[in-house]
């Protein structure tokens, strides 16, 4: 223990050992001590020296400390000291880093990377560290979390690879978020931030470990946007999980987590005194929304998230912040950018944004308020860029919005008492501020993007330049300002204004021959463009020359040859004489070679470090890429090649028209065939029903036949037995009545069947006349044959039924005639006598029935007696047979047999006499 007192600063005699010597002795003690207490004291001493003597402790003690982690896991105290020591040598103190210069800092970082490489050289060391994190003891878990975080900072990809293949490695780290001790939970957030950086596989695993639910719960518990640094850490981790990870974004949306973001943006009415932490938190929350609807995501996923944000009210909440007062400038700027991407390309969201009004008196549309900021040179540059982006997103694939903006410029819709979007754009277009010129020109170009109707409508706009002068068109005014600025800015100034106007003109007249004609109608435009292109100017003017070449090339490509002086061929001849084709193509290529062109082509959002670098628009770069090759070909083509191409185009158009006509004819025939199939199916079902009805009718006819035959037999018996005439007459009258009813019912059913048959015939005739067309003749013939066969079968059945009914009718009439004749005969005789005979016969029948019952009883008794006699005779025969057998056995069979035969004959004669 005296040794440790000397190490820890106690008084000792003699020269003091150096730090390296002391560390060496401590390492020997850690390696050789058998007592746990000695090893623990040695490790504690190494921990106290690890910050001051970082290199010595790391070089000499790292292997001993790792061995302690493996062998002394039962003692949490020594494990904690070892982990703290390893953390100190791998991660330098942040306070010391702030006071060091760049060279020293680089050496410190390199030292930490070297020790990290040594630690992770064996993957088992990381597996051991992950196992130690399962310990609940604070002195083990907390330093383990810090050590693993430092390892990830120094060598992230290597450590991530080991954790990814470790069984339950990510799950163990996710358990840190559920720790009740806030310091471990918070450091766990930092650990997961480092773990999920640039590793999509780990990001997916963390997301499916219910990370979204846990993080959103922590944000809510900590106070959402009003929370502290913990909320910031949670938001940073969420950004790691969602950014550029379509799988996690879809999981976040499907889990209804977008709806839980809405309360974050309920900032309230009092927006004064925003803390720096709240600004940071809200900024990260807005970035999180933008990640879900970023233009770089797949269109389907972005549209789905935009729809969810509108349905849950998140867009409405963002628009409330947009129009609120007292919101910090950076939050307002980021909110504008967020709203821009939430509405970009979504018609529903764009329509809602168009309906938002600012809380002013009188209320003004939010678009107008934002445009006022964009053309105001006193507003911050980033805010003006954000407003331009918002306006571009509002008009992106929104022809309805484009029409509303252009309509505010038309003479019939201008309201002198209010400021419109069109007035603000025109004001910015012709103001003295170059940035306002550029923003207004780009915004107006987006109102015309891919919209031929609005390009033609904008040609109607007239501007009053000054008193006493006639108004000029907007197109003419743009070209006038362009030429004026060009003549006055040979020194390279006003480049931004000219670039903006040229981009507007190129977008306006591209794919619009009418606008090209209007542009060429001004006699000064073509000479101005050729003069600009042909001159040899400085580097700053090359971009303007390239844009002028593009504008002139559009005039050639989309020229309808309506102006005799400026046909395609004459413009190409002018280029060849004044500029030269090769020189023209070279100047045209200056656009895509400009360094700012490639920067603008990367993202739709206009992000520029300074106003001077704000030259290109993202959508315009697409237009240049599309037109450059076509214009180059058009300039080099001869008139004969153009004529051939036009002929080919006309032929292709005719061919397309023919194909379209045939497609329409085929669709119509498909529809007709489908309709015929449905009708055939319906008729088949009806036929089956009629077959069932016919079967039922045949059964009923057969029943009536049977009944008729029975009546016929009964009538024959009655004619033979005249004595019982009154009784037969009574029965005959009832049967005849029933027969009349049955025949009437048959007549009705026959009429109904005939009606149904007529309806079928009418329907068939209607179908035959309706579908008498050439492509369906085969279908018609098949249907006719099928229907004709079915109708022929029905007619045969009906004819047989009719024949049977006629026979029944004839027999019924004969029967009625005979019955009526019998009735008349009986009526001419004495009806009273018949009735008397009927009464007497009735009494006689009763007496006879009584006697019959007695006789039946006697017969039964006699039958019973006969049965008894038969039994006795059977027994007697059996006895006689046995006696005969015995006589045979005794040898007297012949005599006795003859005698017995005589006796039997005598007995038989006696029985016959009896």
Query: Is 566:574 a contact under the CB 8 Å cutoff?
Result: no
Query: Is 689:697 a contact under the CB 8 Å cutoff?
Result: no
Task: Give yes or no for residue 164 having a pLDDT over 70.
Answer: yes
Instruction: Please give the Cα distance from 371 to 367 (Å, whole number).
Output: 6
Q: Give the pLDDT mean for 615-627.
A: 93
Residue entry with tokens 């019998």: 822
What local confidence, expressed as pLDDT, does residue 7 receive? 43
Query: Is 211:205 a contact under the CB 8 Å cutoff?
Result: no
Instruction: Please give the Cα distance from 298 to 826 (Å, whole number).
Output: 105
Report CA 242 to chain centroid distance, whole Å.
20
Which one is predicted more confidently, 813 or 257? 257
What local confidence, expressed as pLDDT, does residue 588 receive? 92
Q: Give the pLDDT mean for 726-738.
A: 54
In percent, how much of the chain has pLDDT > 70? 76
Report CA 550 to chain centroid distance, whole Å.
41
Q: Give the pLDDT mean for 27-56.
A: 89
Task: Give yes or no for residue 837 having a pLDDT over 80.
Answer: no
The region of weakest confidence among 69-83, 450-464, 465-479, 830-844 is 830-844
What local confidence, expressed as pLDDT, does residue 772 receive? 45
Task: Give yes or no for residue 218 having a pLDDT over 70.
Answer: yes
Banded pLDDT at 821 (limits 50, 70, 90): low
Residue 126, token pair as written in the block: 């990381």
Which one is predicted more confidently, 570 or 270? 570
CA angle 849/853/856 to nearest 5° reads: 135
What local confidence, expressed as pLDDT, does residue 848 receive? 56
What local confidence, expressed as pLDDT, does residue 10 receive? 45
Q: Give the pLDDT mean for 709-723.
A: 70
Task: Give yes or no for residue 822 having a pLDDT over 60.
Answer: no
Residue 129, token pair as written in the block: 């560290």
Is residue 358 helix, strand or coil?
strand
Query: Is 203:160 a contact under the CB 8 Å cutoff?
Result: no
Please report, for the chain, how many H helices and E strands are present, in that order: 42, 4
HEC assignment per residue over 705-732: HHHHHHHHHHHHHHHHCHHHHHHHHHHH
What local confidence, expressed as pLDDT, does residue 724 receive? 45
| Residue of 431, 517, 440 whose CA lies nearest to 473 | 517
Residue 788's alpha-carbon distances to 413, 586, 763, 784, 799, in angstroms, are: 69, 80, 12, 6, 16
Banded pLDDT at 440 (limits 50, 70, 90): very high
Residues 6+ apart with CB under 8 A from 6: 12, 16, 17
Which one is predicted more confidently, 228 or 416? 228
Instruction: Please give the Cα distance from 46 to 51 (Å, whole number).
Output: 9
Instruction: Please give the Cα distance from 268 to 321 (Å, whole number).
Output: 9
Measured over the CA atoms of residue 663, residue 667, residue 668 and residue 670, the dihedral's sign is positive
Report CA 660 to chain centroid distance, whole Å.
31
Task: Give yes or no for residue 342 having a pLDDT over 70.
Answer: yes
HEC assignment per residue over 858-900: HHHHHHHHHHHHHHHHHHHHHHHHHHHHHHHHHCCHHHHHHHH
In percent, how much of the chain has pLDDT > 90? 41
Residue 183, token pair as written in the block: 């310091």
Banded pLDDT at 641 (limits 50, 70, 90): low
The region of weakest confidence among 221-230, 315-324, 672-681, 761-770 is 761-770
Q: Give the pLDDT mean for 576-593.
A: 90
The region of weakest confidence among 181-195, 395-409, 413-427, 518-532 is 413-427
What local confidence, expressed as pLDDT, does residue 830 receive? 44
Helical (H) or strand (E) element with 132: helix 123-132
Q: Give the pLDDT mean for 143-155.
A: 93
Phi, psi of 267 (to 5 degrees): -85, -15
Banded pLDDT at 890 (limits 50, 70, 90): confident
What local confidence, expressed as pLDDT, does residue 911 receive? 44
Is residue 225 helix, strand or coil?
helix
Q: For the range 240-243, what are the long-range contacts, defined as Cβ-Cβ under 8 Å and sequence gap of 24 or more?
A: 240/193, 240/196, 240/197, 240/203, 241/196, 241/203, 241/206, 241/207, 241/211, 241/212, 242/288, 242/291, 242/292, 243/291
What local confidence, expressed as pLDDT, does residue 2 receive? 42
Instruction: Please give the Cα distance from 284 to 566 (Å, whole number).
Output: 56
| Residue of 121, 190, 189, 97 whose CA lies nearest to 150 | 190
What local confidence, expressed as pLDDT, does residue 398 receive? 94
What local confidence, expressed as pLDDT, does residue 107 receive? 67
Q: Give the pLDDT mean for 778-806.
A: 54
Task: Give yes or no for residue 895 having a pLDDT over 70.
Answer: no
Banded pLDDT at 801 (limits 50, 70, 90): low
What local confidence, expressed as pLDDT, does residue 290 receive? 96
Query: Is 234:212 a contact under the CB 8 Å cutoff?
Result: no
What local confidence, expressed as pLDDT, does residue 285 receive? 96
Task: Give yes or no for residue 450 having a pLDDT over 70.
Answer: yes
pLDDT tens track for 6-34: 444 444 444 566 778 888 899 989 888 88
CATH pick for 401-645 out of 1.20.1060.10, 3.40.50.2300, 1.25.10.10, 1.10.10.350: 1.25.10.10
Instruction: Please give the Cα distance from 61 to 85 (Å, whole number).
Output: 9
Task: Give yes or no for residue 642 having a pLDDT over 80.
Answer: no
Other CB atoms within 10 A of residue 599 CB: 17
What local confidence, expressed as pLDDT, does residue 489 receive? 52
Strands 357-358 and 364-365: antiparallel
The region of weakest confidence among 273-287, 473-487, 699-713, 741-755 is 741-755
HEC assignment per residue over 608-631: CCCHHHCCCCHHHHHHHHHHHHHH
What residues are paired with 472 via a beta bridge?
463
Residue entry with tokens 């867009």: 315
Per-domain residue ranges of the chain: 401-645
Query: Is 143:83 a contact under the CB 8 Å cutoff?
Result: yes
Residue 335, token pair as written in the block: 């909110």
| CA dihedral angle for residue 73, residue 79, residue 80, residue 81, rounded to 10 degrees | 170
CA angle 642/644/649 to nearest 5° reads: 90
Q: Give the pLDDT mean for 197-211.
A: 93
Banded pLDDT at 380 (limits 50, 70, 90): very high
The region of weakest confidence among 204-208, 413-417, 758-762, 854-858 is 413-417
Phi, psi of 614 (to 5 degrees): -85, 90
The mean pLDDT value of the chain amounts to: 81
Task: Give yes or no for residue 777 having a pLDDT over 70.
Answer: no
Q: Give the pLDDT mean for 286-306.
A: 94
């Amino acid at each position: 223990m005296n040794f440790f007192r000397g190490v820890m600063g106690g008084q000792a005699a003699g020269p003091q050992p150096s730090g390296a010597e002391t560390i060496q002795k401590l390492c020997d003690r850690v390696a050789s001590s058998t007592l746990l207490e000695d090893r623990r004291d040695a490790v504690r001493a190494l921990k106290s020296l690890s910050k001051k003597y970082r290199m010595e402790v790391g070089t000499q003690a790292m292997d001993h400390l790792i061995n302690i982690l493996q062998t002394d896991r039962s003692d949490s105290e020594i494990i904690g000291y070892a982990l703290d020591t390893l953390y100190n040598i791998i991660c330098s103190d942040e306070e010391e880093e702030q006071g060091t210069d760049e060279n020293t800092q680089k050496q410190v970082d390199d030292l930490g990377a070297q020790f990290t490489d040594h630690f992770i050289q064996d993957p088992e060391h990381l597996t051991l560290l992950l196992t130690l994190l399962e310990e609940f003891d604070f002195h083990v878990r907390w330093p383990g979390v810090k050590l693993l975080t430092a390892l990830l900072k120094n060598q992230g990809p290597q450590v991530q690879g080991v954790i990814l293949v470790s069984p339950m490695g990510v799950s163990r780290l996710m358990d840190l978020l559920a720790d009740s001790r806030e310091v471990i939970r918070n450091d766990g957030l930092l650990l997961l931030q480092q773990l999920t950086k640039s590793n999509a596989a780990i990001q997916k695993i963390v997301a499916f470990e219910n990370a979204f639910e846990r993080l959103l719960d922590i944000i809510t518990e900590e106070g959402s946007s009003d929370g502290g640094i913990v909320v910031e850490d949670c938001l940073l981790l969420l950004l790691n999980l969602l950014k550029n990870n379509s799988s996690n974004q879809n999981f976040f949306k499907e889990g209804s987590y977008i709806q839980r973001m809405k309360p974050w943006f309920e900032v309230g009415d009092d927006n004064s005194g925003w803390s720096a932490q709240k600004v940071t938190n809200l900024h990260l929350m807005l970035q999180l929304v933008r990640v879900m609807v970023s233009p770089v995501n797949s269109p389907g996923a972005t549209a789905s998230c935009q729809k969810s944000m509108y349905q849950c009210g998140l867009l409405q909440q963002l628009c409330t912040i947009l129009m609120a007062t007292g919101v910090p400038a950076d939050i307002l700027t980021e909110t504008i950018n967020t709203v821009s991407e939430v509405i970009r390309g979504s018609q529903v969201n764009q329509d809602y944004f168009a309906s938002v009004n600012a809380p002013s008196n009188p209320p003004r549309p939010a678009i107008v308020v934002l445009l006022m900021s964009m053309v105001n040179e006193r507003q911050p540059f980033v805010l003006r860029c954000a407003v331009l982006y918002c306006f571009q997103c509002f008009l992106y694939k929104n022809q309805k919005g484009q029409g509303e903006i252009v309509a505010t410029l038309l003479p019939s819709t201008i309201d002198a008492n209010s400021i419109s979007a069109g007035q603000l754009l025109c004001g910015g277009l012709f103001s003295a501020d170059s940035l306002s010129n550029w923003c207004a020109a780009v915004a107006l170009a987006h109102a015309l993007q891919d919209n031929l109707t609005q390009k033609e409508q904008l040609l109607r706009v007239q501007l009053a330049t000054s008193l006493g002068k006639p108004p000029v068109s907007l197109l003419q005014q743009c070209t006038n300002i362009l030429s004026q600025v060009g003549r006055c800015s040979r020194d390279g100034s006003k480049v931004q204004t000219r670039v903006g106007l040229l981009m507007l003109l190129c977008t306006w007249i591209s794919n619009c021959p009418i606008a090209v004609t209007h542009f060429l109608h001004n006699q000064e435009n073509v000479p101005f463009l050729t003069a600009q292109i042909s001159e040899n100017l400085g580097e700053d003017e090359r971009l303007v020359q390239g844009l002028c070449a593009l504008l002139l090339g559009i005039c050639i490509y989309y020229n309808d040859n309506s102006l005799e002086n400026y046909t395609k061929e004459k413009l190409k001849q002018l280029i060849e004489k004044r500029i030269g084709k090769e020189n023209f193509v070279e100047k045209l290529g200056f656009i895509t070679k400009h360094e700012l062109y490639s920067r603008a082509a990367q993202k739709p959002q206009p992000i520029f470090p300074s106003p001077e670098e704000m030259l290109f628009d993202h959508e315009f770069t697409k237009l240049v890429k599309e037109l450059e090759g076509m214009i180059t070909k058009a300039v080099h083509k001869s008139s004969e090649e153009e004529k051939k191409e036009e002929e080919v185009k006309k032929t292709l158009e005719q061919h397309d028209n023919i194909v379209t006509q045939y497609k329409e004819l085929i669709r119509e025939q498909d529809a007709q065939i489908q309709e015929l199939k449905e009708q055939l199916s319906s008729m088949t079902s009806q036929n089956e029903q009629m077959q069932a009805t016919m079967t039922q009718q045949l059964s009923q006819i057969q029943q009536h036949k049977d009944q008729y035959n029975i009546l016929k037999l009964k009538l024959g018996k009655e004619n033979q037995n005249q004595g019982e005439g009154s009784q037969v007459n009574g029965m005959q009258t009832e049967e005849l009545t029933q027969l009349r009813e049955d025949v009437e019912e048959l007549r009705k059913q026959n009429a109904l069947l005939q009606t149904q048959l007529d309806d079928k015939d009418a329907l068939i005739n209607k179908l035959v006349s309706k579908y008498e067309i050439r492509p369906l003749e085969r279908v018609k013939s098949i249907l006719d044959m099928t229907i004709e066969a079915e109708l022929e079968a029905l007619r045969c059945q009906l004819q047989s039924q009719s024949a049977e009914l006629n026979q029944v009718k004839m027999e019924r009439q004969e029967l009625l005639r005979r019955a009526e004749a019998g009735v008349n005969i009986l009526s001419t005789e004495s009806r009273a006598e018949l009735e008397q005979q009927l009464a007497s016969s009735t009494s006689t029948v009763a007496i006879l029935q009584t006697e019959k019952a007695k006789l039946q009883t006697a017969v039964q008794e006699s039958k019973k007696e006969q049965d008894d006699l038969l039994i006795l005779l059977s027994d007697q025969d059996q006895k006689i047979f046995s006696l005969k057998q015995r006589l045979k056995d005794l040898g007297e069979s012949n005599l006795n047999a003859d005698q017995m035969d005589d006796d039997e004959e005598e007995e038989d004669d006696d029985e016959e006499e009896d």
